[in-house]
């Protein structure tokens, strides 16, 4: 406990320092990290170390909706904190956190996490995660209702791409045209046309199935100015 206090009493805390208080677990693509049905909450907290997982739900007719993709080194699954919340949902709504790729995470038990919340630095980390996710959800909702398809797509690319060996920002190959289209509520052909147009504008390039952003500054300018570029047709 003394070691625990020495580590977490710092005003700033790197979330990786909490790995030692969890159990390293792996998930295959398609595995559920956590699930919450309205009125029936249980589970543990995870810190995602590698891979991509997403908060999603499946409708009565089997349609999957993805709300957000979790970033590495974030808390994932606040189900234990929801135990005492009674939200006025009508009917049961099920949410899952699904591994979209093979994932490595550190699982912290409900009881252990409640103990960790006694330290302000841990509470600060948790609130940072919740705030980031809340802003992400609001921006995605606003963008889907008010911005052109190309602006939405560019926002998505800049949000999800990460630095790669080439020095550019690269999108994980998990993000197929179909995956992106489902998340953005578009057709995969529209995604393909936008990729072709952004390549013609020399903002992105493709290496195999991977999209790399080679001019993020110009892409950000396209978003802020909502500059229109012609969507090129895909040869059949």
Q: Convert the pLDDT of each residue in 147-174 to its tens digit.
A: 999 999 999 999 999 998 888 999 999 9
pLDDT band of residue 85 (cuts 50, 70, 90) is very low
Q: Would 2-7+16-123 and 144-225 be classified into the same CATH topology? A: no
Sorted by where each begins, the domain ranges of the chain are 2-7+16-123, 144-225
pLDDT tens sequence across 28-71: 999 988 766 544 555 688 999 999 999 888 878 878 889 999 98
pLDDT at 83 over 50: no
Residue 24: per-residue pLDDT: 96
- Interacting residues of 111 by C-beta distance below 8 A, sequence separation 6+: none
Inter-residue contact 78 to 130 (CB < 8 Å): yes
Average pLDDT over residues 193-208: 94
pTM: predicted TM-score of the whole model, two decimal places: 0.82
Percent of the chain with pLDDT over 90: 51
- When the candidates are 1.10.3470.10, 1.10.10.10, 1.10.1040.10, 1.20.930.40, the CATH number that belongs to 144-225 is 1.10.10.10
Are 225 and 218 a contacting pair, CB within 8 Å?
A: no
Output 4 or 97, whichever has higher pLDDT: 97
Distance, in Å, from the CA atom of 178 to the CA atom of 57, rounded to the nearest integer, reads: 17
* The listed CATH number (2.60.40.420, 3.30.1330.10, 3.40.50.2300, 2.60.120.10) that belongs to domain 2-7+16-123: 2.60.120.10
Phi and psi torsions of 37, nearest 5°: -105, 135
d(CA 19, CA 48): 10
């Amino acid at each position: 406990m003394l070691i625990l206090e020495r580590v977490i009493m710092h005003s700033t805390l790197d979330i990786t320092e909490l790995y030692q208080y969890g159990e390293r677990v792996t998930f295959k693509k398609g595995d559920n990290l956590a699930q919450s049905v309205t009125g029936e909450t249980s589970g543990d907290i995870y810190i995602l170390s590698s891979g991509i997982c997403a908060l999603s739900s499946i409708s009565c007719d089997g349609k999957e909706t993805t709300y957000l993709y979790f970033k590495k080194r974030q808390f994932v699954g606040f189900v234990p904190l929801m135990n005492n919340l009674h939200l006025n949902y009508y009917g049961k709504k099920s949410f899952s956190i699904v591994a979209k790729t093979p994932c490595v995470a550190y699982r912290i038990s409900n009881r252990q996490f409640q103990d960790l919340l006694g330290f302000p630095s841990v509470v600060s980390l948790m609130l940072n995660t919740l705030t980031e996710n809340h802003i992400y959800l609001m921006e995605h909702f606003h963008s889907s209702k008010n911005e052109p398809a190309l602006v939405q797509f560019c926002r998505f690319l800049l949000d999800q791409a990460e630095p790669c060996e080439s020095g550019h920002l690269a999108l994980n190959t998990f993000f197929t045209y179909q995956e992106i289209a489902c998340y953005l509520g578009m057709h995969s052909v529209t995604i393909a046309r936008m990729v072709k147009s952004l390549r013609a504008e020399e903002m992105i390039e493709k290496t195999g199935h991977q999209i790399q952003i080679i001019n993020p500054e110009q892409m950000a300018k396209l978003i802020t100015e909502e500059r229109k570029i012609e969507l090129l047709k895909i040869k059949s």
